[in-house]
Structure 1
């Protein structure tokens, strides 16, 4: 590193033989203890990463906080702001340096040995700030497992596990200097944030859901991952129309389609979300066009997030059909809604019982019921909702509950007001909804489906 890029602190620490982080920390701690015994408030020694920033001119934009600056100033008998200036200023800042010295200093063997030892110490520290690959593999495996069991795990449990994984990724980022490991950890943080966005929405908490989605998008941008950013933008689009901003949802969904390296699954999901947004706008032509685009994604392209990891990041034929059913309901297309909802349920029932995610099967069943209500078929709606009413309270997420609210509103139509079967079904929906997590949390949300 040339002198202009070094700080005064770098030069002074080197001359005193405490350039390495360990030696500096030892001296800093000794001085800090002395100041503490005098009644001063002091901060712990800076970690290796922060210490390295102190040594590079321009890396630290503001003077360290007083508890840190106090120790540095006692150590070097110089204001902290001057310690962070360029090392080229060191001559004017060291009062004890003779102004008569005009010739360059003569190197001797002891100085060369000190510099060599300093380089070895720094290299050792850098090598130590590299995580065992098995640690990263374990984090990756746990994220994949959580993602794949998302639809079969209660939201509150997902929230706890995803929070733990996000915190672990953030801590590990501070313990490595490897660019490759940083990429893996930011990728992990993006996945955990995306799951926290999804589960926050399921719990009826829109504001944190949006914040988590934006965090996921930012992590994806940091590592240049198109699929991560596309997934996060899709979530933000979904939340926008759910929050009553369908035009914004269309914009976000279209922007997401332009990210690079997207596979068919990612595009199918984004077109399905776009279709829903157009449905909220009542734009039948654009909604039907987006549905066709979603169904036409068959190029064979794949990406790691949506296809290889899959799970909550996936968007298979059953989920596509479920989403299309909801779009048809927004357009009051009972026939199309019933066809898509029935297709989703048929595809799900072909799987083993423990591989039928409630986050898909529940909403699909409610959509089927509402399609039948549009045709005044109360008994058919009751039949469709029978498995839904068996869902435990902790699994009753926002997507399912807001669909049920829309079904309940259908039952207020004049033709149902005096029908005993309709009144009974309405009471069942109300009793079922009262125990949902979003009601327990006190959330008041707009409808996911307009009545």
Structure 2
């Protein structure tokens, strides 16, 4: 049985999935970032790591070691890191009555379903469908790590039910649900900065869509593959994926808007301004009141509301150098978002549009205006600072690092705040370094 962590440092390593080898790599990287490539940088052997996490230190280690550890977890001091772990997980939500009722309902349903023999009740499939819809619609409120866990648990449950039925119609329904959970896993993996895994999961979702003849899922997965591609520096592949998805029949207007928006971004990365602008125009077309069973009927993370479209097109406008259009689209995204009920407002969209607005103002050398626009960004909780937000703020940081701003107080303060903001984000803290090649919408 695994023992309880003895120190806050041990608790954080467990939380962030940092066994000794990964901890040592990050510790060394942090030392290089702080002190340069100096042979006297602090190091940590495995025995020392066991002492640090085992609560066996009498005095704190060297000042440089403490500084490196505090840079890895800026929200804590060295004294706190070597002190006792928290009594309660601050990231774990309190078990309220609504959650208790939901758990009881699920347990009761599972108990009833277990009485079946080699078949699956249609009610069970309906329940799984409702759970997929619920997760898709709650996705914008969840930290990506938690969304990933929920989606993976749901995927396992769907697969268990698929193993219990030989009814073709039920097999197809469960295959579609399985594909939808995998598609959500792909989005969450991307938000966490795990691009190779996100690509594999998106391809898996596409296979489920193809096997079940559920075209909207194929289109969504190809769109996801497209934006993973241009984030990975392969704009040509991104254009190809988006173009292929747009050839599928049976897609609703929302799906078309999403795919044209992704297509526009891919063309912008290729430097094809004319094609990018044409794709933007198509993404904003009023449509023909067409709907499909994924982007519309399920919606949520599979949807693409007006504010998200405006935010994405703002980013594309920045990439092609149209700062005025970028500012207009970012403002429109924020305005549309503000019209929604509070519980339906996406922190990702608000922060993304605000960052685009700030960058557009920086292009006009309006640093004060950029600082004002960034206000909503700082409000995003650390565990919801996903890849899209991190990449956007990093781009602003690079702009503020230009020689023209050296020595100026406000640009320096903003750049340092962006570094602190990024350092505790999941893509930086949990995943590999995020390629800062694009700005995701």
TM-score by length of 1: 0.71
Given candidates 406, 409, 430, the residue that maps to 1:441 is 430
Mapped contact 2:350–2:376 kept (Cα < 8 A): no
Question: Unaligned 5+ residue runs, structure 2?
Answer: 1-115
1:350 deviates by: 1.1
Go from structure 1 to structure 2 and tell me whether the alpha carbon gap of 1:448 and 1:139 turns closer, same or farther (over 3 Å shift).
farther
Given candidates 377, 380, 385, the residue that maps to 2:369 is 380
Mapped contact 2:252–2:291 kept (Cα < 8 A): yes
Deviating beyond 4 angstroms after TM superposition, the runs of 4 or more aligned structure 1 residues are none
Q: Report the equivalent of 2:11.
A: none
What is the CA deviation profile of residues 187-214 of structure 1, one whole-angstrom value per residue up to 9, with x for unaligned ones? 1111100000000000000011001101
Mapped contact 2:428–2:434 kept (Cα < 8 A): no
Q: Report the equivalent of 1:264.
A: 253
Given candidates 268, 272, 290, the residue that maps to 2:279 is 290
Mapped contact 1:403–1:448 kept (Cα < 8 A): no
Q: Report the equivalent of 1:246.
A: 235
Output the CA distance in 1 between the equivalents of 2:339 and 2:389: 21
Instruction: Give me the CA root mean square deviation.
Output: 1.2
Q: Report the equivalent of 2:218.
A: 229
1:404-415 alignment runs, 5 A limit? 404-415=393-404
1:236 deviates by: 0.2
SS, match of residue 205 in structure 2: helix
Output the CA distance in 2 between the equivalents of 1:228 and 1:324: 23
What is the CA deviation profile of residues 1-58 of structure 1, one whole-angstrom value per residue up to 9, with x for unaligned ones? xxxxxxxxxxxxxxxxxxxxxxxxxxxxxxxxxxxxxxxxxxxxxxxxxxxxxxxxxx
Go from structure 1 to structure 2 and tell me whether the alpha carbon gap of 1:442 and 1:133 turns closer, same or farther (over 3 Å shift).
closer
SS, match of residue 297 in structure 2: helix
Q: Report the equivalent of 1:276.
A: 265
What is the CA deviation profile of residues 169-189 of structure 1, one whole-angstrom value per residue up to 9, with x for unaligned ones? 111111001111111101111
TM-score by length of 2: 0.72
Q: Report the equivalent of 2:29.
A: none
Q: Does 1:318 align with 2:281?
A: no
Q: Does 1:189 align with 2:166?
A: no
What is the CA deviation profile of residues 373-421 of structure 1, one whole-angstrom value per residue up to 9, with x for unaligned ones? 1111111111111111121110000010011110101112232223211
1:128 deviates by: 4.5
Equivalent pairs counted in the alignment come to 324
Q: Does 1:348 align with 2:332?
A: no
Q: Report the equivalent of 1:395.
A: 384
Q: Does 1:212 align with 2:201?
A: yes
SS, match of residue 309 in structure 1: coil
Larger radius of gyration: 1
1:286 deviates by: 0.4
Q: Report the equivalent of 1:141.
A: 130
1:351 deviates by: 1.2
SS, match of residue 295 in structure 2: helix
